[in-house]
Structure 1
C-alpha cells in the first residue's frame, strides 16, 4: 500500500503549489510565473536525478510520449493559473476535484479500469462535494449552476481538470521508459520551454517593477518546491496503482488547499466551502480504499 503514502504526498504538494501560485500570480504575470516555476523545478529535479544516479537513455517512446503530453500538461497548468488569478483558492480547488471523475471515465473508456461499487460511491461523493462548494445558507440549491455561469475562474478550473485527465496514462508510459525521477524532470523542463516558446510570439508580458520583482522571483522559486514534491510522488504512486485511484487519493489536496486558503489568506466565504471540500475528500478516500 505504498502508493497511498505517495498519493497523500502528492496531495500535499498539489495543495502547496496552488497556495503558493495564488500569491505568485498576484505579484506578476500568470504565464511568466508558470514558465518560471516549472523551469526552476526542472533544475531542482535535475540535481535530484544526478544525486540519485537516475539518468536513463532517452528512447523513441520517451520522446513521443513527452511530445504528446505537452498539450494537456500545458493546457491544464495554464487554466489552473488563470483560475487562481481570477478566483479564491477555496473556490477553485474544490472545482478541480472533478479530475478523478474525468480520469475514472477515461480509464473505463480507454484502459479497461472498471471502478468497484465502493469506488463508484466515492465518485458520487466527489461530485456532491463539488456541487456544494457553491451553496450558501439561505440561497437557492441551483446557485452552484449559476456560479459556473457567472464565475470564469470556475470554468477555468473545470477546463484544467479536462486537460489533466489524460495525463496520468501518459505519465505511466513515460515513467516506465526512464523512471519517475527523470520523467518528472523532463515534464517540468519541457513544459516550461514549450510554454516560453509558444507564448513568446503571442503573449506580451512585463516583469513587475523593481520593488516587487525580487519578491515575485522569490515566490516563483518557492512555488517550484511543492511542485517538485507533487510531480515526483505522483509518478511513484502511478507505478504502483491504477490511475483513477491515485488521482482520487491525491484529490485530498482539495481539503488541504481550501483550509489553507481560509487560515492563511483569510478568504471571505472560504469557510462555507470547507464542507464541500470535505465531501470531495471523503469520496476520494473511498475510491482509494476500493483500490
Structure 2
C-alpha cells in the first residue's frame, strides 16, 4: 500500500475513533446514530451540486450499501443493549475485515501477498484479544444474544464495505459516490427513525444538533477517505487497516478519559500495531 493511502486510512481510523469517543450528544444510541447519519447526509447534500451523479453501474451497489448500513445501525443498537461497548465494538469491527478478506480473495480476485495476509491476521487477532479484555470485569463473558448481535453487525459491516468498494470502483468517482451515498443514507435513516419513534421525537434530535453535526462531519470524512482508498488499493487491506480505530479508541480512553490499561489491552494493542507495521511493509 502506498504511503499516502496508508497515512490517510490511518487518519480515517483515528477520526472514526474520535467521533465515537468524544461526541456525546446526550441521546440514546438509536437517536445518536440517526442524528449523526442525518447531519452527515445534510453535509453531503450541500456537496451534490458540485459532484456528478453516480453512473448506472454504481447505483445497485449504493442501494445495497444503504440497506446494509440501516441493518448495521439497528443491530449495533441491539448489541449494545446486551453487552459492554469494550466487547461489542471490537467483536463487530474485528470480525468484519476477516469476512472482507475471505470474500475479496474468493470473489474479487484481489492479490494479497503472504506478508499482507499476515498483517491482516495480526490486526484481527489484536482486536479480538481486546474484546476478551473489554468487559467490566477482566474476562467478562459476553451474553449469547449480545454476541450474536455483534457478529450479525459484523456481517453488515463487511457487506457495506464490499458494496462501497466495488461501487466506488464502478463509478470511477469516489467523491461523487460518497456524497450521494451519505445523502441518501441520511434520509433513509431518518425515515426508519420516524417510523420507529414517530414525528414527536424530532425536537429531541434538533436540540442536540451541534454534537450531531460534529459527529456527522467526522463520520463523513472518515468513511469518505475509506471509500476513496478502496478505489485505489485492495479492499481487504483498507478494511483491516480501518479497524485500527480500535487502537485509537484505546489510546483516547487511556490518555483523555483516564481509563486504566491492563496487560491484556496492552498486548492486544501491540498485536494491532504489529499488524499495521506488517501491512505497511507488505
Shift, 1:185, TM fit? 1.9
Number of the residue aligned with 1:224: 216
Number of the residue aligned with 2:44: 45
Number of the residue aligned with 2:251: 259
Aligned-partner Cα distance in 2 for 1:288–1:106: 22
Q: Aligned to 2:168, which of 152, 172, 175?
A: 175
Query: 8 Å contact 2:119–2:274 — kept in the other structure?
Result: yes
Number of the residue aligned with 1:190: 184
Query: 8 Å contact 1:262–1:271 — kept in the other structure?
Result: no
Number of the residue aligned with 2:29: 30
Which segments of 5 or more consecutive residues in structure 1 lack a partner in the other structure?
137-142
Which segments of 5 or more consecutive residues in structure 2 lack a partner in the other structure?
none
Please report the TM-score for the alignment, with normalisation by the length of structure 1: 0.79
Please report the TM-score for the alignment, with normalisation by the length of structure 2: 0.81
Shift, 1:69, TM fit? 1.5
Q: Which sits farther off after the overlay, 241-250 or 170-179?
A: 170-179
Shift, 1:110, TM fit? 1.3
Q: Which sits farther off after the overlay, 95-104 or 196-205?
A: 196-205
Query: 8 Å contact 1:11–1:250 — kept in the other structure?
Result: yes
Relative distance call for 1:267 and 1:187 in structure 2 (3 A) is: farther
Query: 8 Å contact 1:89–1:258 — kept in the other structure?
Result: no
Relative distance call for 1:111 and 1:213 in structure 2 (3 A) is: closer
Q: Does residue 1:243 correspond to 2:239, yes or no?
A: no
- CA-to-partner distance for each residue in 1:44-73, whole Å, 9 max, x for gaps? 2343455xx3x2144332332221212222
Relative distance call for 1:235 and 1:5 in structure 2 (3 A) is: same
Shift, 1:134, TM fit? 4.6
Number of the residue aligned with 2:274: 282
Query: 8 Å contact 2:13–2:244 — kept in the other structure?
Result: yes
Relative distance call for 1:256 and 1:119 in structure 2 (3 A) is: same
- CA-to-partner distance for each residue in 1:81-128, whole Å, 9 max, x for gaps? 555566555434432222221110111121122432212322332343
Q: Does residue 1:107 correspond to 2:104, yes or no?
A: yes
Relative distance call for 1:260 and 1:92 in structure 2 (3 A) is: farther
Shift, 1:224, TM fit? 0.9
Q: Aligned to 1:124, which of 105, 121, 126?
A: 121
How many residue pairs end up in the alignment? Answer: 274
RMSD: 3.2
Shift, 1:3, TM fit? 1.6
